[in-house]
Amino acid sequence: MRLKQIKLAGFKSFVDATKIPFEHALSAVVGPNGCGKSNVIDAVRWVLGESSAKHLRGDAMTDVIFNGSASRRPISVASVELTFDNSEGRLAGQYANFQDVSVKRQVNRDSESTYFLNGQKCRRKDITDLFMGTGLGPRSYAIIEQGTISRLIESKPQELRVFIEEAAGISRYKERRRETENR
């Protein structure tokens, strides 16, 4: 599974609609300090359901909306769409046969988030369920940031186990069992 494209509009420093294609197996995002490189990664985690403003380097969830600059007024909505190449069928269930799967999240100043899967409105849970066990999620090991490795090395066995279970692909089954037991 490969991230093919990110579309951002009104998200952090990306005030105008911006399309970032990743056409090759390996891509690098480079640029001067403050140009928005980390904002791109924040965008990926945000769409996948990140619900902590702190983990997106902000104080409130609405901090992801473009809040104005010297020459531009703040705007009211932020949206990000990720398109994944799913030709290997890693995203299972009803999406298994889709070559491309797109995931979109939108938020307004009232902090209301709306999620979409292939253009259809869905719940946050539909997105977290879809990606569970694929290694990609708001906090999973597909995104390795500064300090992640040392945090892993220093983590307690129970915390390490969460990573291993995600890598082994069993976290989705554990989550389903937990849901069933709580019913």
For CA atoms 9, 13, 16, 22, the dihedral sign is negative
Residue 56 or 136: which CB sits closer to ligand ATP?
56
Least distance CB 44 / ligand ATP (angstroms): 12
* 125 labelled ligand-binding: no
For CA atoms 22, 17, 120, 139, the dihedral sign is positive
Least distance CB 15 / ligand ATP (angstroms): 7
Least distance CB 100 / ligand ATP (angstroms): 26
Largest CA-CA distance found in the chain, in angstroms, rounded: 54
CA-nearest of 107, 129, 134, 135 to 117 is 129
Please state, as a whole number, how many other Cβ atoms lie within 10 Å of the Cβ of residue 10. 23
Binders in 5-44 for Mg ion, by CB under 5 A? 38
- C-alpha neighbours within 13 Å on the C-beta side of residue 178: 6
Residue 31 or 119: which CB sits closer to ligand ATP?
31
Least distance CB 38 / Mg ion (angstroms): 3
* 38 labelled ligand-binding: yes
Interaction site with ligand ATP (CB under 6 A): 12-13, 31, 33-39, 63, 65-67
Contact 160, 149 (CB under 8 A): no
Annotated binding site for ATP: 32-39
Residues belonging to the binding site are 32-39
- Interface residues with Mg ion (CB under 5 A) are 38
